[in-house]
Amino acid sequence: MTKAVITGMGVISPIGNDIDTFWASIKAGKSGLGPITRFDATEFDSRVAAEVKNFEASQFMDKKDARKMALFTQFAVAAAVQAWKQAALEGSGVDLERVAVVMGNGIGGIEIFEESHKKLLSSGPSRMLPLTVPMMITNEAAGNISIHFGIKGPTLTTATACASGTDALGQAMDMIRSGRADVVVAGGTEGAISAFAVGSFCMLKALSTAYNDNPQKASRPFDSARDGFVIGEGAGVMILESEAHAKARGAKILGELAGYGSSCDAYHVTAPEPSGDGGALAIRLALKDAGIAPEAVAYYNAHGTSTQMNDPIETQMVKKAFGDHARKMKVSSTKSMTGHMIAAAGAVEAIVCALAIQDGFFPPTINLDKADEACDLDYVPNVGVYGTIDAAASGSLGFGGHNACVVLRKYK
């Protein structure tokens, strides 16, 4: 089977806007959480978020182009520019008709919707933002990446809520394997820290509310004192290539995207199915697709949202998928540092896996002071550790019952 190899990666995140800074922050157990600054959150039950800091779109694209993009699209293009550069595709003579884009997004340009809707109500339809629709719709991240690089191949968007980024990587891998593309720019992006989004999640009772005065402690996956997730933002992008294409152009291969599995709980629009069977199925399918035994996976990057419901169910899920090996491998949730980046989460966490394999480092779950009794695996509490990692997996769960998993492997 044609291998899908990784030749470039890029990230915009609450703990760093390039791969080196991001990975250094992960290794240091740095929290990207803080008080919400995007709007006045005084009246909100949850006033904590993991915001991207010091982001300047003009560092990655033309200012005029950036002004026509919502924040989630700016993040996506910025991460793609980093990945494209690392892959050394500029001036490589790559056939742009054989390059594709697959990006995951969940909520779209919600800040554009808010602004335009306010203008509609206050001043009438003639004062709405002229580019409301093309800035707001979820496919514009993928579309603008193609425009930026002149990519002529399939340009697609996955929308499976918080599993979107993982599903995008899986779809991209399949495109490489099937020969429909030589190169795929793939990942996920989200920029939804807005009053409307935060207020909506508050109404679902999904967000952390107990740590408004100590925000860096608010995301605490698997901890007995967890009380909800913390909304984050950013983007993660990988350049995937067929092994033959990467070798032919002398590209540096960073790893292999080796397997993908997807399933649906068919249970509830927001709650995971209590047995964890659906998520376990996605993991088993990914392992089968990769052609590796559960025992070969040294590290699992969990969805680990820090909600009361998710964490114990995901623990069961991991046990069902990996069997006895679940207690021998290391499991952690980097959402403890990045918050929950919604559609970007799976892509960024797959990048974490790739970096963990390269560096031989198991990332920590910070704020894990006392594990829930129902969460009894090795979650690498608070301090990461070094070790051998030949294969890692990353799992994502999304509203609607969407489950997705990818397996990454050291390139040999």
The DSSP code for 75 is H
Verify whether residue 162 is a known catalytic residue.
yes
Of 29, 42, 401, the closest CA to residue 202 belongs to: 42
325 included as an active-site residue: no
- Choosing from 148, 245, 303, 402, the catalytic residue is 303
Cβ of 274: how many Cβ atoms within 10 Å? 13
DSSP state of 367: T
CA dihedral 366, 371, 377, 378 (to 10 degrees): 40
Q: CB-based contacts of 179: which residues, under 8 Å, 6+ apart?
A: 2, 242
Per the DSSP assignment, residues forming a β-bridge with 185 are 101, 239
Instruction: Answer yes or no: are the C-beta atoms of 234 and 348 closer than 8 Å.
Output: yes
State the alpha helices, DSSP H only, in 264-309: 277-290
Q: C-alpha distances in angstroms, 228 versus 82, 194, 222?
A: 32, 18, 11
Catalytic choice (162, 353, 375, 405): 162
List the catalytic residue out of 340, 353, 402, 405: 340
Beta-strand runs (E) in 13-113: 34-35, 48-49, 99-104
- Give the angle 90-96-98 at the CA atoms, nearest 5°: 125
Residue positions annotated with a catalytic role: 162, 303, 340
